[in-house]
Structures are given as structure tokens and as C-alpha cells.
Amino acid sequence: MTKKLFLLLFAVIGFTMQIQAQDDIQLADTLVINGETIIMLGDSVIILRPEQPVYWKKGGNFNLSIQQVSLTNWSAGGASNLALNTGVNLFANFQKDKKIWDSKLTVNFGFNRQSDRRFATRKTNDNFIFVSKYGRELTPKWYLSTQIDARTQLLSGYRYFRPSGSERDARSKISNLLAPAYIQSSTGLNYKNELKNGDKISVIGSPFTGRFTIVMDDSLSRAGAFGIIPGEMVRAEAGMSLTSATDIQLLENIRWKLDLNLFSNYEKLGNIVVNMNSVVSMKVNKYITTRIETVLIYDERVLITRSDDTKGPAIQVQNLINFGIGVDF
């Protein structure tokens, strides 16, 4: 009998403790308003907001390199000089549902100053490139896209030479702001693939491409520079084009970007206008980088004055190796 009373008392105590523990547990009230979950727990209010989709990706890069040589009473000879090269690259990419809109702006400028020569400051790099592409998805990697490609420079460009019998340099203007400027509009199929490691490949083939060459400088226009009719300021062409943009991580700290634009006029199929920009970036740390930039241009309508004073179409090549500050943002 005593044993049964003991077990009954033990059960009553356990049941009482369980009821008290349940009284100590505060049940939370939950409310959902416009997709936001509001949880009220005692005197606390917790708001859980759903993760918002990100439609825009924006960023860019700024680079700057400076070289200075100062000589005073230097018996080995030479000249003091200052060289600067800088550039900024900006991008804004939009993707929502089956629509994409990618835009990119590149501005580069560089000069060299040597105090002991006529025209001491001379431009070494100057370009302005804006590319914007809008597309509608056909399949996960194929789009129907329209792209605008605009290219020009910011300052006047000169050819420096020394006339026969003269001891001083002379110069003649060969380019200017919007002289030339190239605007190309193309519509076609776009293959676009972004890999998991961040590598990007985009290729657009367009059988419907319009290309406009603009020369807004009166003296260059009258001379028929850059293939326009003398006295005119705009030359319009219809043709086909192939445009590609590649962004690949070669090694852990080495990245390669290549932009290629090929255009052929329907009137002269096979005569291709080439614009190629290649940039290899090698990061030393977060702020120090080495950049190897190569620009290649070929346009048979642009007549180049060669070193032997003959004129004709030629492959234009610009190579730059910069070591300096490089900041991604």
C-alpha cells in the first residue's frame, strides 16, 4: 500500500511540473503582410522580409600609372620626362525574366611630356567606347539582340614630323573629337554564356548592321579623311558584323578580356573593318596591378602616312604596359 501511494505522489508531482513548464513557454503570434512575416514573441517583434531579387549588376575599374624621370647636369645624356596613363571602365547589366540589357563604357587617356622638345606634351592614348546591348531570351543561352557600339576620342590628334632642312618639329592635325566617330547598330542572334567560375562569353552575329562614320572637323571633312566624301560629315554603310566579348580568368591573379568587332560592307564583301581590344590584368594585391593592353585596328578607307611619307591602308597597333594602381568597384 505504501509503495502504491509513493508512485501516485510521484506522478502528481511530475504532472504538476509539466503543467508549470507549459505555462512558461510563450507561443509566438505570426502574421504575414505583403510578403513580410511579422513574429510577435512576448514584448519583441521580429520582421522577416523575403529576399529581394537583384536585377542590376553594376561595377567598374579605375587604373592609373605614372612615370617620371628628372635629370639635372646628367653627364650620360637624356631628357627629363613625365608619362601618365589612366582609364576607367564602367558596366551596368540588367536581367529580368527573359530580358537582358548590358552596357559598358571605357575611357582611356595618356600623355608624355618631354621638356626639351617643341610640342612638349604629346598624346599617347585617347579613346572613348560605349557599347549597349538589349536582348530577349530564345533559349537559356541564345538571345535575339540589338547592339549599339559608339567609338571616338576626346582630344585632337597630331602627326609629328621634322620637315627636310629644319631643326624643329612640326605637326599636322589628323583627328579630333568626333572626327572620327563610329556608330554601329546591329541586330542578330546572340550566344551568351556565363560559367560558374565567373568566365563570360558573348558572340553576336548580325546580317543587319548599319555603320556610320562621322567627321565633325571641317578641315578633315574637306580633306575626305576616314573614307568620307570630301565636304561631307557622315558616311553611312550597310553590311554584316560579328561581335564578341570574352572575359576569362587565366590564373588566380590573371584575367584576360577581349573585345572583337568585325564589319563588312555589302558593297565590298570580304573587305573587313577590324577593331580589337585586348587587356590582360595581373593583380599584385588589392590595389597594385599590371596591365598589358593591345589595340588593333584595320580599315582600308583610312589612309595612314607611313614613316617613308607614303600613304595607304595599314594595320594600326597600340601596345601599352602599365604598372600602377588598379581599383575594382
First CA to last CA distance, the chain: 83
Domains contained in the chain, number = 2
Q: pLDDT (tens digit, 9 = 90+) per residue, 65-110?
A: 999 998 888 888 888 999 999 999 999 999 999 999 999 999 999 9
Is residue 121 domain-shared with residue 233, that is, in the same domain? yes
Is residue 21 domain-shared with residue 164, that is, in the same domain? no
Is residue 180 domain-shared with residue 228, that is, in the same domain? yes
Q: What is the mean pLDDT of residues 253-258?
A: 95
User: Can you give the pLDDT at residue 52?
Assistant: 79
Is residue 33 domain-shared with residue 84, that is, in the same domain? no
Give Cα 81 to chain centroid, integer Å.
31
Is residue 67 domain-shared with residue 43, that is, in the same domain? no
Residue 10 predicted with pLDDT over 60: no
Is residue 199 domain-shared with residue 309, that is, in the same domain? yes
Domain containing 9: what range? 2-47
User: Can you give the pLDDT at residue 49?
Assistant: 66
Q: pLDDT (tens digit, 9 = 90+) per residue, 214-247?
A: 999 999 999 999 999 999 999 999 999 999 999 9
Is residue 90 domain-shared with residue 132, that is, in the same domain? yes
Q: Which of 8-12, 197-201, 308-312 has the lowest mean pLDDT?
A: 8-12
d(CA 18, CA 123): 86
d(CA 311, CA 329): 44
Q: pLDDT (tens digit, 9 = 90+) per residue, 155-188?
A: 999 999 989 888 899 999 999 999 999 999 999 9
Is residue 88 domain-shared with residue 154, that is, in the same domain? yes
Q: Give, in degrees to the nearest 5, the angle at Cα 248 between 243 and 253.
A: 145
Is residue 116 domain-shared with residue 19, that is, in the same domain? no
Backbone angles phi, psi at 76, to 5 degrees: -80, -5
User: Can you give the pLDDT at residue 31?
Assistant: 56
Q: What is the mean pLDDT of residues 279-288?
A: 93
d(CA 260, CA 245): 7
Q: pLDDT (tens digit, 9 = 90+) per residue, 27-61?
A: 556 656 555 666 666 666 666 667 778 899 999 99
Is residue 315 domain-shared with residue 213, that is, in the same domain? yes
Q: Which residue has the higher pLDDT, 308 or 10?
A: 308
The CATH number linked to 170 is 2.40.230
Is residue 130 domain-shared with residue 213, that is, in the same domain? yes
User: Can you give the pLDDT at residue 25?
Assistant: 45
Is residue 59 domain-shared with residue 41, that is, in the same domain? no
What is the SS3 string spanning the chain?
Answer: CHHHHHHHHHHHHHHHHHHHHHHHCCCCEEEEECCEEEEEECCEEEEECCCCCCCEEEEEEEEEEEEEECCCCCCCCCCCEEEEEEEEEEEEEEEECCEEEEEEEEEEEEEEEECCCCCCEEEEEEEEEEEEEEEEEEECCEEEEEEEEEEECCCCEEEEECCCCCCCCEEEEEEECCECEEEEEEEEEEEEEECCCCCEEEEEEEEEEEEEEECCCHHHHHCCHHHCCCCCCEEEEEEEEEEEEEEEEEECCEEEEEEEEEEEEHHHCCCEEEEEEEEEEEECCCCEEEEEEEEEEECCCCCEECCCCCEECCCEEEEEEEEEEEEEC
